[in-house]
Structure formats: C-alpha cells, structure tokens
Amino acid sequence: MQLLADDYGYPRGWYRSHGSFCLGQLERRSNHTRRGEYAWADQHPLLDHVFYYRVGRRPAAIVSHPYHVDERAVAELRQRYLLNVVVDDYPSWRNPGWTRTLVITPDEERIAELGAEAERLRALHGKGSIQKWRDHLQGRKPLYLRGRAGWPFPAPGFGSKGVPDPAYGQLRGVS
C-alpha cells in the first residue's frame, strides 16, 4: 500500500510526507500552524485514509480515500479554503472498490487573485500586512483602520473572497 501511495505522487513531483499538516497549512503551503489549527487534516468528513504529500519540504497535496463523497462537503471545503478538490479516476489503494481517490491541492489561481487584491488594498490604505488583508478578505479576521480622529472603523471588503469564519462570530457572541 505504501508503494502504491509513493507511485501515485511520483509522476506529479510529490513525495509522501511522514508528518501531517492541516488544510490551512496546505492552502498557505506552510509548515507552521496558526492559533486554533491542528497539524492534521482528519477533522473534515471527506478526509478518511489520508496521505500527505510535499514538494520541497512544503505541503503540496492531501490524498484522501473516503467511502462517500458528499458534493455539499466538497463545495464547503472549496469555499472555506482556497483549495482544489478533485475526485480522481485513479483507483484507490485503500479498500479498492469501496473508496474513491480524492485529491486536495492549493488553488493557485484563487490564491494569486486574493494576493493581488490584498496588495492593492494595502497600497490604497497604507495599513496592515498583506497577510492581515488576506485574512480580512476571506472573512477569517476583521481588519480595523483608524480614521483621522483616531477612531477605529472596519476596513472594506470583509468576507468578500470567502465565507466568514463561523467560529469568529461564536467567540464574539455574534450570529
């Protein structure tokens, strides 16, 4: 089974990772977790019998072998993270005939679009880091600017590039 997993990644330039990473790390291609993230991706219902792949020590893909692929869960995953989720025709090497091969990779086009918009807003307002603007646009954490009188006001575009994080509203008591 491990040889089949290695053979799947080799033509794509991926090597199988001995460590795990979460979906947020895959989206950012980062080896570091953020506050509230765990270093494994098993918390999503689509992720069963998971294999992690890297390119140059950075997260490159997560290949899962779920028994059932729910289209709503796939759409939610694509919307919450900047990831491509594809059901591959490649035969599953975990319980063949019972499971399907699901490949999750970063969506480079959407990531580049988000980065360009974050850079534009950073240059326009002259405040905040690119990463803070990205989180703001994705609805993960709001960014506040200061007006001439020094009073904070919300920056424009909160959640315009993604779904606001429901955990943020629950922590603040907002629905």
Instruction: Read off the pLDDT of residues 30-89 as tens digits, 9 standing for 90 and up.
Output: 888 777 777 665 567 788 889 999 998 899 999 999 898 888 888 888 888 889 999 988
Q: Say yes or no: 94 and 115 in one domain.
A: no
For residues 157-171, give the mean pLDDT: 57
pLDDT, tens digit (0-9, with 9 covering 90-100), for 105-117: 999 888 888 889 9
Q: Say yes or no: 58 and 98 in one domain.
A: yes
Higher pLDDT, 164 or 38: 38
| φ, ψ of residue 15 in degrees (nearest 5) | -120, 145
Radius of gyration of the chain (CA): 18
User: How many structural domains is the chain composed of?
Assistant: 2
Cα(66)–Cα(62) distance, integer angstroms: 12
Specify the pLDDT at position 54.
Answer: 94
Specify the pLDDT at position 64.
Answer: 92
Cα(28)–Cα(35) distance, integer angstroms: 14
Q: Say yes or no: 65 and 84 in one domain.
A: yes
Q: Say yes or no: 77 and 148 in one domain.
A: no
Q: Say yes or no: 13 and 95 in one domain.
A: yes
End-of-domain residue from the set 57, 85, 106: 106
| φ, ψ of residue 46 in degrees (nearest 5) | -80, -10
Q: Say yes or no: 25 and 80 in one domain.
A: yes
Q: Collapse the DSSP code of 162 into the 3-class scheme (helix H, G, I; strand E, B; otherwise coil) and give the result.
A: coil
Domain that holds residue 143: 110-172
Q: Say yes or no: 120 and 47 in one domain.
A: no
Cα(126)–Cα(22) distance, integer angstroms: 32
Cα(48)–Cα(61) distance, integer angstroms: 14
Q: Say yes or no: 25 and 55 in one domain.
A: yes
